[in-house]
Each structure stands twice: as C-alpha cells, then as structure tokens.
Amino acid sequence: MVERVGILVVAYGSRASAVIDALSRSDNYDTHFYVADRQHNPFNLRYAEEHVVIPDLDVAKIRDFVDANKDRIDFGICCPEGPIIAGVRDVVERDTGVAMICPTKRYAIEASKASQRLLLAECCPEANPRFKVFHRDDYGYRSEAELKDAIWKFLDELGSEVAVKPDKPTAGKGVGVWGDHFTNREQLFEHFKSIFESGSDVIIEEKMEGEESSFQAFCDGRNLVPVPDTRDYKRAFDYDMGQNTGGMGSYKDTKDWLPFMDRHDREDEERIVQKIFNALRGDGDGSNDGLRGMPFYVAFMHTREGAKILEINSRPGDPEIQNVLPVLKSDPVELCFSMIEGNLSPSKLECDAKATVVTYAVPMDYGGYRESYSGDRKVDLSGVYRLKEKYGDDLRVYPGSMELRADGNTYALGSRTVCTVGIGDSIEDARAISLDGIRHIDGALWNRWDIGAPHYIARSVERMKDLRRG
C-alpha cells in the first residue's frame, strides 16, 4: 500500500523545483508538499498542499509554518545555505519535533572560508592551496602602508597569482582573481580594501590552475554516499568570459567522473572528502547526525599537483543537483528516510547511467549582459512544456527566480529564471534536448550556448593532459 508522507521544502531557485519533482515521483509514497518559498514559484505552487512566501527565508517564520502544519509533515528539506547558516535545522527540530534534512548550524561550513581552510590544513593539507587569513582586528588599526607591507610580503612568498576572498559566503561573487579582476598589486589592494571595508576578514590564496568538478555526497551522519560528479559553468558568457554567477549550467557524463578525469581522480576526491567527514564527525561511535543531508558540496580544481579544494558548501549545488535528481533510480523518499534513520548506503542511491545537461535562462540584467533592462519581464513556459510531448521525461523544466502573479502570467525576477535539463545517452544528446527546451521558452531571457559543448569538453581534456604532462 502507498503510504502518505508530508514533506516540508525550504525553497530557493530551480534546485527546489528539482527536489519536489524527484520526490513526487516516488513509487512507494504518496507525497504532499509544504513549501516555504521566496516567492510564488509556479512549479512549487502547483505541487504544494500548503505554500507560504517568506522572501527572506527567515528561520522563525519557517518554524511557524512548520508548527502550523506539523501533524501533517514527516520531515523537511532545506535547499539554500542561508537558513542552514541561520540554524533552521536546530530551531525547527527543537520547536516542532519535525526532522530536518540538512546540517545543523554548527556544520554550515560555508559560513567561514577561513575556518574551511584551517580545517583542511589539519585533515587534508594536500587539497589546500597556500593561503593566509588577514583579520580585520589585527590590521584594522594599522596604516594603509603597514597593511600593504604585510600583503606584499605574502605575495613575495607566493607569487602574485592569487585569489582574494571575503571570509563569508559569496554566492560566486566578491572573489577577486589575479588576471581576471586585477593585474597589478595596487588593483589587488583596492579589491582587498573593499572587502575589509565591507566588514569581512580576507583570505589570500594561491590561484589554482586546472579543471573544475563539483562533488556532492548525501550523508546520514555515519555514512557518506557520493553522487556522480558534475561540471558547473560559473562564468556568465560562452568561452568562460564575463563575471562569476551562481552557475549558468552544468553537465554530467554517463559515469561517475567527468571526461577530463579518470577513475583515480574520482577516488582522490572521495578519499579527500572522507577525511574531511572523519575530521568533522569526530571519534566516539563514528556517527554525528549534525552532518545529515548534503554536508559536502565540494568544488574541486584538478591541478598539476592533484585535486585541490576551491570551496565547500553544506547544501546541494545549484545547478549541479539538477543534473543528478532526474536520473535517480532509487526511491527518493526512501533515501530521505535512510538519512534520518542513519542507514544510508550506496544501494539507496542508484542513478541511471545517463548524461544530463542543465542550461539556465536568465534575465537581461543578470550577469552583466545588460547594464539594465526596463522591458517586459513576462515569461511564458507553455512552449517548452509542449515540447515534453516530444521528449517525455528526458526533458525537465525547473522554474527558479520567477513568480506567478495575480494576472495569471509568470514573470522573471532578478536571478536565474528557469533551467531545462536534457537527459540522454551522451552529453551531446542531453545538450541538444536542453537547448531545444531553452529555445521554446518565450521571454526576454538569455543563456550560454556552450554548456556541455564538444569543443568545450575537448578543451578541458586537452588542458588536463597538458597539465599532467607539465
């Protein structure tokens, strides 16, 4: 008999639509959704039994929503990092008794990039670049000349090829990289100062050259079960031009690693993440359910010296999880219960050996495409939904930063509007479906055309070979 299950989803962007879509396909459970959303997302509204708009995703308001529905909610999932950092799991579990799938506040690892670097220095120094943290308390009272002196000294040791980062979550923004954002020390200093003045400590670290992969793993606090690797496209424009964004799209191959990697690279990633997990989990009985959910979204850079970590987050990647959830073979609700009950195992997380490509369509004023846009923001998805008659479940459409208004139409807001996921036997097949989907969206939006493109992948493969020959 199919059992009823009530699920809270704390939603932000297309990632949440993908989570709801996956869970709604459970064969073993009759799913009912309670969505705490940033806006009237048209997809989430269609699925929600109860829907509340909480624009700032304030934890107390989410708790109140859960409390009002707690007799009908079996567990909750939090997708974005903001509420995780603010302690949504701690507060909801304490005040309502509803189990949450996400780490506790203590394990919101993205809250401090400096703490991440210090943790990695302890447990897997081989995956850390050389770095130094400049604390405002140490330097704030000194003169500009003294501060420059300290920075120059470090750059003399390291070489000028560095990244300059604020010690806080940046959503892909605020990070300055030598060669991209500055080309001399004075410009670097200006970037440094702007971070100091925004109230944050600063990390300067070695710039890592190589090819990126996104590694994600589900966790029940005792067992870590990784999902296949994906490649995110962070830059706004084709050929990786333009500014950093939240991610314009991503691809996944038919196996667990990416075309420029081999099995050993993937094993290195798994070994490194296991070390981080062991360090955080601590001793005792080997279990720490504060680490439930997806405590390790790890952005790796595969360099000449091996796999290094760019950053870690305590939630699924967006768009990266949209590459994975549509090809999940195991029952998604069972997977959630196994994370809560502490009996997660690889058999709970089987994926079809399919390639997937995610492409985001974004508004004209996103990512530096236009300085401003004053035109109509109406977006009509009916054309792309009709295309599902041709592709069936090999095309998925996940609305993100868009809302349904009282006039019955949907409108783009400020961030990534909607993504299309193509599923195929090869990256090329999946890309063709994803892009066909994009072409059938009616609205003033734009997108990258090279997500998963053969020329892009060939370049990654060549670059990796060059680095290894190096």
Residue from the set 166, 176, 247, 249 that interacts with ligand GLY by CB under 6 A: 247
Residue matched to tokens 């939240």: 246
CB of 121 to ligand GLY, least distance (A): 22
**Which tokens belong to 386?**
């009709």
- Subset of residues 408 to 437 that bind ligand GLY, contact rule: CB under 6 A: none
Nearer CB in complex with ligand GLY: 48/127: 127
Residue 109 token pair: 């690892």
> Helix/strand/coil (H, E, C) string of 8-36?
EEECCCHHHHHHHHHHHCCCCEEEEEEEE
Q: Are 23 and 31 in contact (CB under 8 A)?
A: yes
Is 232 near ligand GLY (CB under 6 A)?
yes
When the beta carbons of 31 and 460 are compared against ligand GLY, the nearer one is: 460
Nearest CB to ligand GLY, comparing residues 265 and 320: 320
Per the CB < 8 A criterion, the answer to whether 330 and 149 are in contact is: no
CB of 249 to ligand GLY, least distance (A): 10
Give which of 116, 107, 60, 53 is closest to 81, Cα–Cα.
107
Strand partners, 7: 33, 75
Total of residues contacting ligand GLY (CB under 6 A)? 7
Q: Residue 420 CB, nearest distance to ligand GLY (Å)?
A: 16
Q: Measured from the CB of residue 232, what is the shortest distance to ligand GLY in angstroms?
A: 4
> Which listed residue (6, 259, 293, 317) binds ligand GLY by CB under 6 A?
317
13 lies in the binding site for ligand GLY (CB under 6 A)? no
150: enclosing H helix or E strand: helix 144-158
* 229 is a contact residue toward ligand GLY (CB under 6 A): no
- Name, in order, each residue with C-beta under 8 angstroms of 392's C-beta and a sequence gap of 6 or more: none
Q: Min. distance of Cβ 317 from ligand GLY in angstroms?
A: 3
Measured from the CB atom, is 247 or 295 closer to ligand GLY? 247
CB 232 within 8 A of CB 319: yes
Which backbone phi and psi does 401 adopt, to 5 degrees? Answer: -85, 70
Minimum Å distance from CB 18 to ligand GLY?
12
CB 214 → ligand GLY: shortest distance, Å? 7
Binding mask 160-199 for ligand GLY (x = CB under 6 A): ----------------------------------------
CA dihedral 102, 104, 109, 114 (to 10 degrees): 170
Nearest distance in Å: CB 68, ligand GLY = 31
Residue listed under structure tokens 């400590």: 201
> Which residues in 297-316 contact ligand GLY (CB under 6 A)?
313
Token pair listed for 25: 């396909």
Nearer to ligand GLY, 232 or 394 (CB): 232
- Residue 419: what residue type? C
Residue 460 binds to ligand GLY (criterion: CB under 6 A): no
Residue 216 makes contact with ligand GLY by CB under 6 A = no
CB of 231 to ligand GLY, least distance (A): 10
Longest dimension (CA), the chain: 73
Of 42 and 246, the one with the shorter C-beta distance to ligand GLY is 246
DSSP string for residues in 220-265? ESS-EEE---BEE--EEEGGGEEEE-S-SEEEE-SSSS-TT--HHH
Residue number with CB closer to ligand GLY (6 or 367): 367
Residue type (1 letter), 243:
Q
Question: DSSP state, 42?
Answer: H
CB nearer to ligand GLY: pick between 229 and 289 = 229
Contact present, 76 and 339 (Cβ < 8 Å): no
Q: For residues 336-395, which are near ligand GLY according to CB under 6 A?
A: none
Residue 139 and residue 202 in contact, taking contact as beta carbons nearer than 8 Å: no
| 386, burial (CB in 10 Å: exposed 0-12, middle 13-18, buried 19+) | exposed
Contact status: 318 vs ligand GLY (CB under 6 A): yes
- Tell me which amino acid residue 465 is: K
CA distances from 428 to 329, 452, 456 (A): 22, 7, 12
Minimum distance of ligand GLY from residue 235's CB (angstroms): 12
Site for ligand GLY in 69-128 (CB under 6 A): none
Least Å from the CB of residue 175 to ligand GLY: 12
**Binding segment toward ligand GLY, per CB under 6 A, in 72-80, 131-139, 317-325, 346-354:** 317-325
Using CB under 6 A, list all residues that contact ligand GLY. 232, 246-247, 313, 317-318, 320
